Amino acid sequence: MDVFEDPESTREEILAAAYRTLCEHGYADLTMERIGEEFDKSVSLVYHHYDGKDDLLLACLEFMLENYRADTDAGPPADPREAMETVCDRPSLVDAPAEAQQFVRALVELRGQAPHNEAYRDYFTRSDRFFEAQIATIIKTGVEQGVFRAVDPERTARMIHTVLSGAFFRYATSVDDAWLADIREELRAYNERTLYLQDGDEEP
Amino acid sequence: MDVFEDPESTREEILAAAYRTLCEHGYADLTMERIGEEFDKSVSLVYHHYDGKDDLLLACLEFMLENYRADTDAGPPADPREAMETVCDRPSLVDAPAEAQQFVRALVELRGQAPHNEAYRDYFTRSDRFFEAQIATIIKTGVEQGVFRAVDPERTARMIHTVLSGAFFRYATSVDDAWLADIREELRAYNERTLYLQDGDEEP
């Protein structure tokens, strides 16, 4: 993940080490010691900054989300249809580099902590809200530009985010992935039928 | 869960105890000792039958899936539209008894083990295939009866199962659930637009 390429502080170096260790070992086998080994400096420095592995992993997730938010906070998209297709292409992750795939698996493991861990629950609630709002902005813009149908932006965004969440959840926790291509096709068909105004449509 | 109401053997009694303990404590705090406490007889009997908590929980999941399979194995549905609405109403679980909600949370925790545990991965792959096939059978029947559009049954079933998986995943791991009503509405709209033939439609 580019966001960890140039750590600007000891804190960021630790977060980068946590990210790399998480991708390599997954959540279950993750320890502060392993993160310390990945980190160039002393493991005691890791303990100095973070109370334990969950505290550190949550800080890592938070840092990634904030960076992603800053990167994509360019206001309404110029081309809503293109922006929507980029969002709906996320399940193509199956063709992504191994590290990205490992991260998705680790993310699902982390989210699997949420039923019994309030801090994870809060984090994932906030990240869901962020991604839904991002999709809703694309939809609102498309409706305003007259290229999308007059759908309910929130409700449609929730549907799309739930499909993507389900796809990542299944991808990380099952053996086959042939179904992923079907999901991408069906999401594309959903957008064509539900969202995109076609030539000759009667809506304004 | 009705399936555990009348255990017919020691093995089933142990599975019932595992189910109740899982719902009450979740996966993270589950131990063989706790299951032994819930079980009326000796905890050593639990160890006699199962190698450890994951072995026991997988047997429990398997038992539930087999029972569900036997219960619903009545062949093609008489009323495909009604059957589809029953499937798509699963996210109404939010109004279900506390135990059912706890079970969904525990199930997501168990599935969160799958990225690093092959036995869980295999189980959830099989359960996905079962639920997808069940939905595909409903769709095929609807198409044959001339009440559904001529969609690709597999692809549509995969979409619906992925939405439901995503909804359960999010429900178990986030704080709010207002979005769930939107998902049910949008699934209903998806079926109306994509699946159900309306009066006056031109398809055969």
Q: If pLDDT is split at 50, 70 and 90, which confidence band does A128 have? A: very high
Mean pLDDT for the stretch of residues A112-132: 96
Instruction: State how far the Cα of A183 lies from the Cα of A170, in Å rounded to an integer.
Output: 11
What does the alpha-carbon distance between residue B106 and residue B103 come to, in Å, rounded to a whole number? 5
Q: What pLDDT band is residue B203 in, cutting at 50, 70 and 90?
A: low
Q: How far is A84 from chain B (nearest CA, A)?
A: 18
- The band of A169, judged by pLDDT with boundaries at 50, 70 and 90, is very high
- The pLDDT mean for chain A works out to 91
Give pLDDT tens digits for B46-68: 999 999 999 999 999 999 999 99
Domain shared by A53 and A88, yes or no:
no
Q: Quick one: B48 and B89 in the same domain?
A: no
| B104 Cα distance to chain centroid | 8
- A162 lies in the same domain as A95: yes
As a whole number of angstroms, the distance between CA A18 and CA A22 comes to 6
Instruction: With beta carbons under 8 A apart, name residues in chain A contacting B121.
Output: 173-175
Residues in chain A within 8 Å Cβ distance of B170: 128, 162, 165
What was the pLDDT predicted at B1?
56
Contact B116 A26 (CB under 8 A): yes
Distance from the Cα of B13 to chain A's closest Cα (Å) equals: 26
pLDDT exceeds cutoff 60 at B204: no
Q: What is the per-residue pLDDT for B5?
A: 83
A148/A200 same-domain check: yes
The answer to whether the CB atoms of A169 and B165 lie below 8 A apart is: yes
Dihedral (C-alpha) A59, A64, A3, A74: value to the nearest 10 degrees?
Answer: -140
Q: In the predicted model, what is the mean pLDDT of residues B158-167?
A: 97
> Between chains, do B182 and A113 touch, taking CB under 8 Å as contact?
no
Q: Is residue A137 scored above 70 in pLDDT?
A: yes
Q: What are phi and psi of B196, to 5 degrees?
A: -75, 130
Highest mean pLDDT among A83-92, B24-33, B112-121, B194-203: B112-121
Among the candidates B52, B73, B94, a domain finishes at B73
Q: For chain A, how far is it from start to end, CA to CA, in angstroms?
A: 42
For Cα atoms A80, B181, A152, give the angle at the middle one, nearest 5 degrees. Answer: 30
Question: Which of A56, A73, A90 is the last residue before a domain boundary?
Answer: A73
Amino acid A125: pLDDT? 97
Q: How many domains does chain B divide into?
A: 2
> Quick one: A88 and A54 in the same domain?
no
Q: Which residue from B28, B115, B156 is facing A108, i.e. has the nearest CB?
A: B115
Nearest to B105 among A115, A173, A194 (CB): A115
Its ipTM equals 0.93
Question: Is the same domain home to A59 and A85?
Answer: no
Q: Let me know whether B83 and B65 are in one domain.
A: no
* Residue A22 φ/ψ, nearest 5 degrees: -60, -45
> If pLDDT is split at 50, 70 and 90, which confidence band does A202 have?
low
Are the CB atoms for B13 and B7 separated by under 8 Å?
yes
List A102's β-bridge partners, or say none: none
Q: Is B67 found in the same domain as B44?
A: yes
Q: Are residues A57 and A6 in the same domain?
A: yes
Three-state secondary structure call for residue B196: strand
Q: Report the chain B residue with the minimal C-alpha distance to residue A155.
A: B182
Residue A203: pLDDT band (50, 70, 90) is low
Tell me the average pLDDT across B181-187. 94
pLDDT at A170: 96
pLDDT of residue B111: 96
Of the candidates A124, A164, A187, the beta carbon closest to that of B173 is on A124
Is A81 a residue whose pLDDT tops 90? yes
How high is the pLDDT of residue A74? Answer: 77
- On chain B, the residues whose CB falls within 8 A of the CB of A135 are none
Residue A196: strand, helix, or coil: strand
- For residue A180, what are its two tokens? 């992923």
Q: Searching chain A, which residue's CA lies closest to the CA of residue B106?
A: A115
Question: Rounded mean pLDDT of A169-181?
Answer: 92
CATH of the domain at B54: 1.10.10.60
Nearest-angstrom CA–CA distance, B158 and B49: 36
pLDDT recorded at residue B74: 77
Interface touch B170/A128, C-beta < 8 Å: yes
Residue of A nearest to B185 (CA): A155
Same domain flag for A90 and A188: yes
- Find the residue in B nearest to A171 (Cα): B115
Please name the member of A109, A114, A193 whose beta carbon is closest to the beta carbon of B193: A193
Q: What is the pLDDT of residue A56?
A: 96
Which of B121, B169, B183 is the closest to A169 by Cβ? B169
Chain A residues with CB under 8 Å of B149 CB are none
- From chain B, the residues in CB contact with A174 under 8 A are 114, 121, 124-125, 128
Nearest-by-CA chain A residue for B160: A163
Burial label for A73, CB within 10 Å (0-12, 13-18, 19+), is exposed
What pLDDT, on a 0 to 100 scale, did the predictor assign at position B97? Answer: 86
Whether residues A114 and B172 touch (CB distance < 8 A) is answered with yes
| Distances B105 to B26, B29, B168, B169 between C-alpha atoms, Å | 7, 13, 8, 8
Pairwise CB contact (< 8 Å): A128 & B174: yes
End-of-domain residue from the set B44, B73, B102: B73
Q: Are B35 and B21 in contact (CB under 8 A)?
A: yes
**CA–CA dist A154, A143 (Å, integer):** 12
Out of B124, B174, B179, whose CB is closest to A124? B174
**Yes or no, beta carbons of A108 and B112 under 8 Å apart:** yes
Which two three-digit tokens encode residue A53?
Answer: 């592995």
Gap from A9 CA to chain B (nearest CA, Å): 31
Q: What average pLDDT does range A185-193 have in this prediction? A: 95
Are B64 and B92 in the same domain? no
DSSP string, B95-150: GS-HHHHHHHHHHHHHHTTGGG-HHHHHHHHHHHHHHHHHHHHHHHHHHHTTSB--
pLDDT at position A42: 82
The CATH number for B159's domain is: 1.10.357.10
Compute the distance between CA of residue A59 and CA of residue A41 in angstroms, rounded to an integer. Answer: 19
Q: What's the domain range around A51?
A: 1-73
What residue of B is the nearest CA neighbor of A25? B116
Euclidean distance between CA atoms A50 and A40, whole angstroms: 16
Are B47 and B81 contained in the same domain?
A: no
Residues of B in contact with A159 (CB under 8 A): 163, 182-183, 186-187, 190
